[in-house]
Amino acid sequence: MPAPESITPKAEYGPALIADFVSRLPHKPGVYRMFDENQNVLYVGKAKDLRKRVSAYTKYERHTIRIQRMIRATHDMEFVICGSETEALLLEASLIKRLKPRYNILLRDDKSFPYILVRKTHPAARIMKHRGARNIKGDYYGPFASAQSVNRTLDTLQRAFRLRNCTDSKYESRTRPCMLHQIKRCAAPCTGEVTLEEYGYLIGDAQDFLTGKSDKLRKRLQGQMAEESSNLNFEKAAEYRDRLQAMAQVSTVSGGINPETFSDGDVIGIHSDGGQSCIQVFFFRSGLNWGNSSHFPRHSKDESPAQIVDAFMAQFYLNKPIPKEIFVSEDLPNHEILEKGLSERAASNVKISKPLRGEKKMLVTRAVKNAQEALARKLSETASQGRLLKQVQEALELEETPNRIEVYDNSHIQGTNAVGAFIVAGPEGLQRKQYRTFNIKDEDTEPGDDYGMMREVFRRRFTRLMKDDSLEWPDVVLIDGGKGQLSSVVEALDELGVTSRTTLVAIAKGPDRNAGRETFFMPGRTQFTLPPKTPALYYLQRLRDEAHRFAIGTHRAKRKKQMKASPLDGISGVGASRKKALLAHFGSGKAVGTASEVDLANVEGVSKKLAKSIYDYFHE
């Protein structure tokens, strides 16, 4: 990426500062960034002509109130000169995705999509689900819209072609066929039920199907079924019949909409309502529909659907394979630049079009309809969530409706593998990507000291909040515990100087741990209960239970990992084979730790030098 150009302005902020920058900008394509007084990025934009584009911000009265607010908040700017407008488009999308500026259209739920991988690192290829970097040797098929779509397709592919999905170690250790072979889901090349050559034909058939050669494959299988039937080999004929039926099921994995007028392409439709938008993306590869996904980009109310789709596509395809054709529901303002930029990224021609008739138009209309239904569901859930938060405000006597609630809990067994955790909830429900955990590290905390653990978690969490202005502060903190836990949290926050920015609430279980009889504690207020069976009480209970589930799940994962750990893991020069030899010789890791240097050197593969290293490791 080109280095940003630094220009020292004479004015302090706002239109005057921008005008000062404009006077020294070139008439070249590039990317600009606007910063507030704390050097947080407000906006990232691109321009064919930087000077002309940025000068538009000096005409303050012509802009909407939202943009005027952004201009007033601008205290600094940076510029990157690019070789072309296409390069500027791709750089802009990359910066928006990384920096998440407040005033940009932002793709918030940008997850990677799963693939089907036919792994070729073994003589008997393995079929499996794959997500992430594609650096494993093999053939990839997808992307699929969801893990569920992949799982369903893998299931039917196994029934159709009987491909193995076991790990290589399990494959090598097999002495008899597994249960999958018994239920006709695997051909069992591991035990020689089929030869590797015969299994290779099955892999080839599966890949023919996944690459769109299903008609040719289907005709061949129908011919083989008829031939076996005429030879009275009905069992073999039934096998071909089952494969054909499974193939038909794969073809209809996502509703049976498989295109006839194109092979590889994405269909993108948008629907906007109530200041929010949903974008639906349908994936079609090799003539098959691999499902659809919903996206809810962040944007202002004055942005048009075409602008939203335009910005969405630039960010969406930064880390995903780009198909040959993309069909959209809007006339994009940057159509030519976007098409050229995506073509450069894909290293092949990419065509973006808005269909007006025929099958492609029907698919775009369906995508828009799906977007409309998904947005309606989201708005309904948001409205319901808003009513619950309003009731929480009334129940806790808050001045405003909370926008962010953090719920804290600890988990341990007699002080071991202790963790703290919090979950986040707001107007859009549970924000699972913002859940966090803390490994308890303070050596002064006694094992099993819940109060000490809570103090450490809050010190670490709120110290970071005070240092990082980009983090969102909670309006309400809900603590799973009673008066003691609340006092320890108040003590920790007083030490940090945090006073009134957050409302603290502790929720204690009722007598005999009865749900519905919880007692609430708040600083400066007498303990109280909420009427049973009220929505606010149910909501706070659910949040408390979700925090408990998350904390105990993290604790169990940590405990499981520790149980699998070996005391020999950290010794330099002791790999898997030497570890195995040491354990076989002494019987346990503990016995290795108490052995002498002479005894250690008697183990096969352990030299005197290594024996001394092992001895020193345990006797430092």
Question: In which band, very low, low, confident or very high, does the pLDDT at 474 lie, cut at 50, 70 and 90?
Answer: very high
Three-point CA angle 381, 387, 390, nearest 5°: 140
For residue 273, pLDDT over 60 is answered with yes
Same fold, 14-99 and 405-562: no
* Phi, psi of 157, rounded to the nearest 5 degrees: -65, -40
Q: Look up the CATH number of domain 405-562.
A: 3.30.420.340
Quick one: pLDDT at residue 10?
Answer: 54
Quick one: pLDDT at residue 512?
Answer: 59
For residue 254, pLDDT over 50 is answered with no
- Rounded to an integer, what is the distance from CA 261 to the centroid of its chain? 33
Residue spans of the domains in the chain: they are: 14-99, 115-251, 265-376, 405-562, 576-618
* Phi, psi of 105, rounded to the nearest 5 degrees: -70, 125
Quick one: pLDDT at residue 244?
Answer: 76
Rounded to whole angstroms, the maximal C-alpha distance in the chain is 93
Q: Which residue has the tokens 């819209």?
A: 145
Quick one: pLDDT at residue 253?
Answer: 44
Spatial CA neighbour of 330 closest among 408, 272, 386: 272
Q: Where is average pLDDT lowest: 75-79, 238-242, 608-612?
A: 238-242
* pLDDT mean across residues, the chain: 85
For residue 349, pLDDT over 80 is answered with yes
Q: Look up the CATH number of domain 576-618.
A: 1.10.150.20
- The pLDDT tens digits of the residues spanning 136-173 come to 888 888 788 878 878 888 887 888 788 888 888 888 88
Q: Look up the CATH number of domain 265-376.
A: 3.30.420.340
Tokens found for residue 454: 């809570």
Residues in the chain: 620
Strand 405-413, strand 126-130: pairing: unpaired
Spatial CA neighbour of 537 closest among 571, 507, 581: 507
Quick one: pLDDT at residue 331?
Answer: 93
3-class state of residue 573 by DSSP = coil
| Mean pLDDT to the nearest integer, 288-312 | 89
Question: In which band, very low, low, confident or very high, does the pLDDT at 41 lie, cut at 50, 70 and 90?
Answer: very high
d(CA 453, CA 421): 11
For residue 513, pLDDT over 80 is answered with no
Quick one: pLDDT at residue 148?
Answer: 80
d(CA 60, CA 68): 6
- The pLDDT tens digits of the residues spanning 369-417 come to 999 999 988 888 888 888 999 999 999 999 899 999 999 998 877 657 7
Quick one: pLDDT at residue 446?
Answer: 74
The CATH architecture to which 14-99 belongs is: 3-Layer(aba) Sandwich (3.40)
Residue 378: which residues within 8 A CB-CB, separation 6 or more? 276, 278, 296, 428
Share of the chain above pLDDT 90, in %: 32
d(CA 190, CA 299): 54
Q: Is 507 exposed, middle or buried (0-12, 13-18, 19+ CB in 10 A)?
A: buried
Quick one: pLDDT at residue 604?
Answer: 82
For residue 507, pLDDT over 90 is answered with yes
Which residue has better confidence, 603 or 111? Answer: 603
CA atoms within 13 A on the CB side of 256: 2
Torsion, CA 293, CA 299, CA 302, CA 307, rounded to 10:
-60
For residue 252, pLDDT over 60 is answered with no
| Mean pLDDT to the nearest integer, 321-335 | 92
Tokens found for residue 340: 């050229």
For residue 7, pLDDT over 90 is answered with no
Spatial CA neighbour of 20 closest among 58, 50, 47, 67: 58
For residue 210, pLDDT over 60 is answered with yes
Q: How far is CA 298 from CA 67, 89, 107, in A?
A: 16, 19, 6
Quick one: pLDDT at residue 134?
Answer: 79
- The pLDDT tens digits of the residues spanning 44-86 come to 999 999 999 999 999 888 888 889 999 999 999 999 999 899 8
Question: In which band, very low, low, confident or very high, does the pLDDT at 5 lie, cut at 50, 70 and 90?
Answer: low
For residue 245, pLDDT over 80 is answered with no
Which residue has better confidence, 486 or 589? Answer: 486
pTM: 0.69
3-class state of residue 520 by DSSP = strand
Quick one: pLDDT at residue 255?
Answer: 47
Tokens found for residue 493: 């926050």
On whether the CB atoms of residues 542 and 425 are closer than 8 A, the answer is: no
